[in-house]
Amino acid sequence: MEPILDIKGLRVTFQTNDGPVEAVRGIDLSVKPGETVAIVGESGSGKSQATMALMGLLARNGKATGSALYRGQELIGMSERNLNKVRGDKITMIFQEPMTSLDPLYRIGEQLAEPLRFHRGLSRAKARPRIVELLKLVGIPEPERRIDSYPHELSGGQRQRVMIAMALACDPDILIADEPTTALDVTIQAQILTLLAELQQRLGMAILFITHDLGIVQRFADRVYVMRRGEVVETGATADLFAAPAHPYTRMLLDAEPAGRKLPPPENAPVLLDGQNVEVVFRSSGGLFQPADELRAVDGISVALHQGQTIGIVGESGSGKSTLGRALLRLLPSAGVISYKGRELTNDPAAMRPMRRELQLVFQDPFGSLSPRMTVGRIITEGLMIHEPALSARERDVRAGEALAEVGLEPGMRNRYPHEFSGGQRQRIAIARTMILKPKVIVLDEPTSALDRSVQKQIVDLLRDLQQKHGLSYLFISHDLAVVRALADYILVMKQGRVVEQGQTEAIFDHPAQDYTRTLMAAALETTRFRQEDPAPVLP
Amino acid sequence: MLRYTLRRLASAVPTVFIIVTLTFFMIRLAPGGPFDLERPLDPLIMANLNRAYNLDGSLWSQYLTYLGNLLQGDLGPSFTRRDFSVNDLFATGLPVSILLGSLALLLATVIGVILGAIAALRQNSSLDYAIVGLATFGITTPNFVVAPLLSLFFGVLLGWLPAGGWSQTDPIYWVLPVLTLALPQVAVIARLVRGATVEALRSNHVRTARAYGLPARTVVIKHALRAAMLPAVSYLGPTAAGLLTGSVVVETIFGLPGIGRYFVQGALGRDYTLVMGTVVVIALFVIVFNLIVDLLYTFLDPRVRYD
């Protein structure tokens, strides 16, 4: 069959202050009618920019050269007017950011009507029944009512469904899905993927799937292109590529699932951090004539963290995971009795200060949590200035070098600034900043979520090594069950501020008791099914 | 929405009360009084004056009297303009200020939005730089420089427009004051709209609109500009209050009978009631326009809801 999309020698170059940067370096790619093709690669591989180029959506400083033929029509360099007859009609796109891809100021019915009005010449009134039908098709409940909703009245998953409805409005030949589930909770991810697969079967369009998630590729794609640094390094039928990856980069990606197990600490390990009936209530203050509002983010949870133990806290976004982690360190005003090594932790910041040294926190965002105006050395040693004020500048410098070496970075890097480092390196810096204080308990708040899979794996290995070496206790907060399974020996499942289920990691994964847990598991395992037998457990 | 409006209006009462109270005692703290001359007045005459203007009682009783009158809408007699009450002064001056202010506001908004949008759409072009440069000039040049220059150029040298003076019926007298009032606001609004439009054009929902093949005009006007109006609208609230209550500089230079000069003149002459009256009027304008902006927001942005 003739391909409907035929890309040859596509290049994308961005003019930057540091000279031209080539994001895509001459790729060839084709899509046949009805086929599902995946482009996989890690961040910066150019996989998104390649499709942005053929949709004419590059940033102002970007330029595409080469050829992209849609049914014989050259898309690269096509005038905006002619391109507008193709995009949104023959080729449509859904994006990674469901929360912001719809205009917040217009009702979804109005936005869904736009492609129908401009490509099909339908009036608003004529478009309406078609839109209701589309909303029904993508599984939006009560479409007759929802058509008049604003985007902010819908959840992230529903907004992505609306985007899919928009993509289907004009019966496209090709649907480009650019990481359509990355920003969604695992359970919602699975629903959206299933929906896309069903719709493709019913409607028969081709799907070009851009993703970093190999589980999705294996489940959905007929053919795969693996991209790295702007080039296609390997391509082939999905089954062949997974069975016998030829390129070392593909093998590395396949191997990048976090693996290994952590065994629980010995029975007699002492309890380090003990929280009884921890409660956090957020109150909106209300105005002079306004009633106050309250939200119970953490609703009476008890946790006992043993020495050497890792407790994984899992749950959907908004379930109160992060709030619980902060509350246990009294970083938020919280009710309930919390003690560390038998001493009670209070909500008094001054009394907490000397205890802070041993109770540390690592954040999710390795880009936002390091000050851009401080050298890495100063960032790492800032805590020492408070907790070991007697140290001289020279001694602090030595300690900074040691801490960097401990997390696998060059000691010489301490004189550089955060922006010179990659996401994974920054997360290592954040861990070094914590480790330099010789903590006992670390709350890890989604420390791997913003990172590529291969980098995630390295951070997971690092955290496990550090734990073994220093006998640390972790409270590991994550929505990513693959990572939790590799790191935690005990799991709390949270929903709406409460613990719905808890137990040893194996027990939770093998025999989840609650429907909610089962949904979480099923969703996570769906997308990681390609994983081979896990290697032998890592002993603590 | 109605409940919200009523609640906001109700909460304006304590606000105005606090402002009135603070101003009342602060102006009394300033040394001197309304009848102090270089040569002291005869004590007997002074005592009579003080009695006539209700300045002889304790500060506390004067305050209560003022509050009582204020509740009945009486701003009291002016101390320095004999035979005029503050209400009289505002009755003649306020319409002038409101007329000029609202024309300036309209002009500034229309031109500012257009310039800002053009600059954003032609980002980093010479047109963009020209508009940004003009805006910087407009913001940095004080109106006591602009007003005499306009008056000199168009009034004296070219003779196209009157260099000063006032007529309630002949709009030719309004042109230069309105231009002077509008110029800095044009500049600020153009900059605000430019920044917000640049940001909106980069937003994901504009990318969606482009990806679905909508014509450029629809993308810009419907999906970018509406969002870009929001910061300009919040700026316009307090600005409108300021413009509609007159400007001492513009009124002095063009010889206009507005109320802008009363605040400065009243403060210098220790005309207690005139100062208080001006403060009350300005406070009410600020409160009302902030409320209007907040209500306008609910129409512009469906995410904003007050009930």
SS3 letters across B64-89: HHHHHHHHCCCCCECCCCCCCEHHHH
Specify the pLDDT at position A501: 93
Q: What are the two backbone dihedrals, phi and then psi, of residue B78, each rounded to the nearest 5 degrees? A: -75, 140
Q: In tens digits, what is the pLDDT along chain A, a chain of 540 residues?
A: 789 999 999 999 998 887 888 999 999 999 999 999 999 988 778 899 999 999 999 988 899 999 999 999 999 999 999 999 999 999 999 998 888 899 999 999 999 999 999 999 999 999 999 999 999 998 888 999 999 999 988 888 889 999 999 999 999 999 999 988 877 777 788 888 888 888 998 898 999 999 888 888 888 899 999 999 999 999 999 999 988 899 998 888 887 777 777 778 888 889 999 999 999 988 766 555 566 677 888 999 999 999 999 999 998 877 889 899 999 999 988 999 999 998 899 888 888 888 899 999 998 877 788 998 899 999 999 999 989 899 999 999 999 999 999 998 988 888 888 888 888 889 999 999 999 999 999 999 988 877 877 788 888 989 999 999 999 999 999 888 888 988 999 999 999 899 999 999 988 888 888 988 888 887 665 554 433 333 334 443
Sign of CA dihedral A431, A437, A439, A442: negative
Residue B249's nearest CA partner among B235, B267, B236, B264 is: B264
Chain segment B172-213, per-residue pLDDT in tens = 888 888 999 999 999 999 999 999 999 999 899 999 999 999
Average pLDDT of every residue of chain B: 88
Beta strand pairing status for A206-211 and A174-178?
A: parallel
Asked if A469 reaches chain B (Cβ–Cβ under 8 Å), the answer is no
DSSP-assigned states of every residue in A410-476: -GGGGGS-GGGS-HHHHHHHHHHHHHTT--SEEEEESTTTTS-HHHHHHHHHHHHHHHHHHT-EEEE
Q: Are B244 and B104 in contact (CB under 8 A)?
A: no
> Residue A194: inside a domain, yes or no?
yes
Question: Is the Cβ pair B227, A105 closer than 8 Å?
Answer: yes
Q: What whole-number distance in Å separates Cα of residue B189 and Cα of residue B134?
A: 12
Please give, rounded to a whole number of angstroms, the shortest distance from the CA of A96 to a CA of chain B: 10
pLDDT for position B156: 83
Q: In what order do the strands lie in the sheet with A19-31?
A: A19-31, A5-16, A62-70, A73-74
In a domain, A111, yes or no: yes
> What is the C-alpha end-to-end distance of chain B, expressed in Å?
6
Buried-exposed string A326-346: b where 16+ CB fall within 10 A, e elsewhere: bbbbbbbebebebebeeeebe
A36 located within any domain: yes
- At residue A301, the pLDDT reads 93
What CATH number does residue A44 fall under? 3.40.50.300
Band of pLDDT at residue B120, cut at 50, 70 and 90: very high
Distance from CA of A280 to the nearest CA of B (A): 26
Give phi and psi for A421, each to the nearest 5: -110, 155
Instruction: Give the contacts of A107 (CB within 8 A, at least 6 positions apart).
Output: A147, A148, A149, A150, B302
User: How many independent structural domains does chain A possess?
Assistant: 1
Residues 6 or more apart whose CB falls under 8 angstroms from that of A286 comprise: A292, A293
How far does A118 lie from chain B, in Å, by closest CA?
Answer: 7
* Option in A80, A102, A152 nearest B208 (CB): A102
Task: Please indicate if any CB of chain B lies within 8 Å of the CB of A289.
Answer: yes
CB A179 within 8 A of CB A211: yes
Residue B213 and residue A87: Cβ atoms within 8 Å?
yes
Chain A residue with minimal CA distance to B215?
Answer: A84
Give the domain extent around A148: 5-254
The string of DSSP codes covering chain B is: -HHHHHHHHHHHHHHHHHHHHHHHHHHHHSSS-TT--SSPPPHHHHHHHHHHTT-SS-HHHHHHHHHHHHHTT---B-SSSTT-BHHHHHHHHHHHHHHHHHHHHHHHHHHHHHHHHHHHHTTTSHHHHHHHHHHHHHHHS-HHHHHHHHIIIIIIIS-SS-SS---SS-GGGTHHHHHHHHHHHHHHHHHHHHHHHHHHHTSHHHHHHHHTT--HHHIIIIIIIHHHHHHHHHHHHHHHHHHHT--HHHHHHHT---SHHHHHHHHHTT-HHHHHHHHHHHHHHHHHHHHHHHHHHHHH-TT----
Helix, strand counts (H, E) of chain A: 19, 20
User: According to the model, what pLDDT value does residue A69 have?
Assistant: 94
Per-residue model confidence (pLDDT) at position A526: 53
Separation CA B207–CA B201 (nearest Å): 8
Nearest CA in chain B to A152: B303
Residues of chain B with C-beta less than 8 angstroms from the C-beta of A80? 216
* Confidence (pLDDT) at A106: 94
| Type of residue at B231 | P
Residue of B nearest to A51 (CA): B211
Q: Is residue A448 part of a domain?
A: no
Give me the residues paired with residue A175 across strands. A92, A207
Interface test with B, best of A103, A106, A116 (most B CBs within 10 A): A103
Contact in structure between B278 and B259 (CB atoms under 8 Å) = yes
CB B65 within 8 A of CB B51: no
Q: What integer is the mean pLDDT of B275-291?
A: 91
Q: Are strands A473-477 and A310-314 parallel, antiparallel or unpaired?
A: parallel
Q: Do A114 and B11 touch (CB under 8 A)?
A: no
Give the closest of B211, B300, B301 to A57, CB-based. B211
Amino acid at B200: A
Query: What is the sign of the dihedral through the CA atoms of B6, B8, B14 and B17?
Result: negative
Identify whether A208 is part of a domain.
yes
Q: For residue A480, is it within any domain?
A: no
Whether B30 has a pLDDT exceeding 90, the answer reads no
In the 3-class helix/strand/coil scheme, how is B262-277 assigned residue by residue? HHHHHHHCCCHHHHHH
Domains of chain B, each with CATH number or no CATH: 2-71 (no CATH), 89-300 (1.10.3720.10)
Task: Report pLDDT digits (tens) over B140-180.
Answer: 888 888 888 888 888 888 888 888 888 888 888 888 889 99
Q: Helix crossing, B272-300 with B226-244: angle to 10°?
A: 170
**Which chain B residue shows the shortest CA-CA distance from A111?**
B209
Strand order in the sheet with A343-345: A293-306, A271-284, A335-340, A343-345
> Which of B:77-136 have CB within 8 Å of A?
123
**Is residue A161 a part of any domain in this protein?**
yes
Tally A–B CB contacts below 8 A. 83
Closest Cβ–Cβ partner in B207, B213, B218 for A85: B213
Judge whether A158 is closer than 8 Å to chain B, CB to CB.
no
State whether A103 and B213 contact (CB < 8 Å). Answer: no
Nearby residues of A378 by Cβ (< 8 Å), 6 or more positions away: none
Q: What is the DSSP letter of A1?
A: -
pLDDT digits (tens, 9 = 90+) for B225-275: 998 998 899 999 889 998 988 888 888 888 888 888 888 888 888 888 888
